[in-house]
Amino acid sequence: MNKSLGRQLKKYRIFYLMFLPVAVYFIIFTYYPFLRGLIMSFQENRLLGNRPFAGLANYRFVLKDSNFLAAVANSLIIGLWDMVLYFFFSLGFALILNELVHRTVKQTIQTIAYIPYLFSWAVIGGVWVLIFDLQGLVNQFLSIFGTEPIFFLATPDYARPLIIAMGVWRSMGYFALLFTVAIMNIEGQLYEAARIDGASRFMQIRKIILPSLIPTMKTIIVLLSIGVLTHFDEIYVMVNPANRRLISTLLLFVYETGILNFQTGTASAGATLVMAGTLLITGLMRKFIGYDKE
C-alpha cells in the first residue's frame, strides 16, 4: 500500500509542483497573518523588536475601553439593521421585478439597481455627499413640503440611518440578482399545475416562488451574517467628528488602533474578539435557519 502511494505521488508529482505557488501564497498571506494576529493579541503593544507576552492584558484592556464598547454597539446596530434590510429589500425587489412581463424593461431596471454594487464605497460616499447636501436632492425634495434644509451629514441623529441606507442602496440590486437567478430556475410545470388547481398569481407567489427560494434565502442569510461585524470601508469613508461616536465600528477601531496608532496588541485582541463574535453570530444564524440540516 505504502509503495503504491509512493508511486502515486511520483506519478502526480507535477500537480504538487503546480500547487506549490498557491499553497505558499495561502500559507504566507492568509494562514500566517491569522496566526500572527492571534499571537500578537497576547503580546505587548510593540511592532518592532521582541514582544514580551502579556497574557490576557490586551483583552482586559479592550473590554474596558469605552471606544471599543461603543464600537461593539455601533457594529451590532449597523450590522444587524443592514442584514435585515438587505435581505427584505432585495427579496421584495426581486419579487416585484419578477411580475413584470416585458423582458427589456425588466432587465433595464435590474441593471439600474445593480450598478451601484460595482462602485467603491468612496464613490457611494460621493453620491451621498451630493444628494444629502444642504442644497442637494433630498433637501430639494423635502422643501416641497416646506421643510427647512437639514445638514444631514453633520447631524448626529441621521448618522446611523444614513450609513445603513447607504449599504442598502449599494447592495440591494446584487442580492436581488441572486434571488432573481433562483426564481428563473423554478420549473415552469409548477406554475402550470397551480393554474390547473385554480391558484391565483398571488397564491402562486406564496406557495411556489417563496418556498422555492428558501435555499437561496438561507445562503444569503449566512453570507450576510458573516458580514455583520465586518463593516469597514463605508465607515472609513463617511466618518467625521460629528458622527464618529455613533458610527465608528469594530473594524475601524482595529484599523485606527493597530495601523494608525501602532497599538498592535490592543488592536489584535479587538480583532480576535470580532472573529469570535462573527463565529458566534454565524453559528447562531446557521442553527436558527437550519442551514446545515439538509
Identify residues 184-203 at the interface with other proteins (CB under 8 A). Answer: 184, 186, 188, 191, 195, 200-202
Binds other proteins by CB under 8 A, chosen from 63, 70, 232, 289: 232
- Tell me the closest approach of the beta carbon of residue 69 to other proteins, in angstroms: 19
Residue 145 binds other proteins (CB under 8 A): no
Residue labelled with grid coordinates 442580492: 175
Contact assessment for residue 246 and residue 81, using Cβ atoms and an 8 Å cutoff = no
Binds other proteins by CB under 8 A, chosen from 1, 35, 144, 196: 35
Q: What are phi and psi of 43, to 5 degrees?
A: -115, 160
Q: Report the sign of the C-alpha dihedral through residues 272, 274, 277, 283, in that order.
A: negative
Binds other proteins by CB under 8 A, chosen from 169, 212, 242, 286: 169
What number of chain residues touch other proteins (CB under 8 A)? 92
Considering only residues 102 to 141 of the shown chain, the ones binding other proteins according to CB under 8 A are 103, 109, 111-113, 115-116, 118-123, 125-127, 129-131, 133, 135, 137, 140
Residue 216 binds other proteins (CB under 8 A): yes
Residue 8 binds other proteins (CB under 8 A): yes
Choices 55-63, 65-73, 154-162, 226-234; region in contact with other proteins by CB under 8 A = 226-234
Residue 33 binds other proteins (CB under 8 A): yes
Contact assessment for residue 33 and residue 264, using Cβ atoms and an 8 Å cutoff = no
Binds other proteins by CB under 8 A, chosen from 49, 50, 99, 145: 99
**Terminal-to-terminal C-alpha distance of the chain:** 36
Binding mask 52-91 for other proteins (x = CB under 8 A): ----------------------------------------
**Between 40 and 91, whose beta carbon lies closer to other proteins?**
40
Helix ranges (H only) for 31-155 are: 32-40, 57-64, 66-98, 103-114, 121-131, 137-143
- Tell me the closest approach of the beta carbon of residue 262 to other proteins, in angstroms: 10
Residue 228 binds other proteins (CB under 8 A): no
Q: Can you list the pairs that 45-51 forms with residues at least 24 positions away whose Cβ atoms lie under 8 Å?
A: 45/262, 45/263, 45/264, 45/265, 45/266, 46/264, 46/265, 47/262, 47/264, 51/265
Burial class (CB in 10 A: 0-12, 13-18, 19+), 83: buried
- Tell me the closest approach of the beta carbon of residue 237 to other proteins, in angstroms: 5
Q: What CA–CA distance (Å, rounded) separates 150 from 164?
A: 18
Residue labelled with grid coordinates 438561507: 218
Residue 284 binds other proteins (CB under 8 A): no
Binds other proteins by CB under 8 A, chosen from 1, 2, 3, 21: 21
Contact assessment for residue 265 and residue 220, using Cβ atoms and an 8 Å cutoff = no
